[in-house]
Amino acid sequence: ESGQDNTPMLALNLVLAISLCTVIGSIVSQTMTQSAVQLIESRNAEFEKNRALSIVNDQFKGSVNLSAEAIVMIDQKNTITVFNPAAEAMYGYSAQKSHGHTRPELLIPPRLQPDHVSGFNRYAETGMANVMGIELETFSTRADGTEFPIRLMVQEIRGGEEPQFIAYIRDLTERNKLREEIA
């Protein structure tokens, strides 16, 4: 047997090995091509999603900045995250100065702060609120320390990792003066 010529068998094995490698290479190539196409589609979808979010974010910022009402947003720690130009004019604080401060220390009269903190903590613990989604007349404090009447509406904004709260605030000082003059 050792004297027999194994060349045809070796040639056959070589042809089979090359054929098998070609098939496997073709399958791997198709899989990699499909994966690349899926990756490109996924990346394009992510890009479009981010672009859409950017547009919505710009529209939101534009709406907030153009609002005639003061708009103040706070996070779940009661810290101011948005303070629009109308809020700057109403309160006498710049948006930069207001960011990072808690709402009670900056905007709520000292006599009302315990009630605010208690209500905020109750909502954080139980989800029950007395002011969420309703118009409320109360008082606020300007940068110079003067107290003034306001109309306030607070809404919770969900969608992110943590809830945020947006307050729409209208200064009622002029309205109240007109009422007094008419009466």
Q: What is the mean pLDDT of residues 69-97?
A: 92
| pLDDT on residue 108 | 92
Q: Which helix (H) or strand (E) holds 163?
A: none
Q: What is the mean pLDDT of residues 103-119?
A: 88
Please give, one letter per residue, the 3-state secondary structure of 122-136: HHHHHCCCCCECCEE
Burial of 142 (0-12, 13-18, 19+ CB in 10 A): middle
| pLDDT on residue 2 | 56
What is the distance between the alpha carbons of residues 150 and 95, in angstroms, rounded to a whole number?
19
Q: What is the pTM of this model?
A: 0.71
Q: What percent of the chain has pLDDT over 90?
A: 51
Check whether 44 has a pLDDT greater than 80. Answer: yes
Identify the residue whose tokens are 């989604």: 133
Q: Which residues contact 153 (CB under 8 A, 6 or more apart)?
A: 133, 134, 135, 136, 167, 168
Which pLDDT band, with edges at 50, 70 and 90, does 101 fall under?
Answer: confident
| pLDDT on residue 1 | 52
| pLDDT on residue 24 | 93
| pLDDT on residue 167 | 93
Which pLDDT band, with edges at 50, 70 and 90, does 172 fall under?
Answer: very high
Q: For the segment 138-167, what is each residue's pLDDT rounded down to a tens digit? A: 999 999 999 999 999 999 888 777 888 999
What is the distance between the alpha carbons of residues 54 and 25, in angstroms, rounded to a whole number?
42
Q: Which residues contact 4 (CB under 8 A, 6 or more apart)?
A: none
For residue 165, the cross-strand partners are: 74, 156
| pLDDT on residue 117 | 85
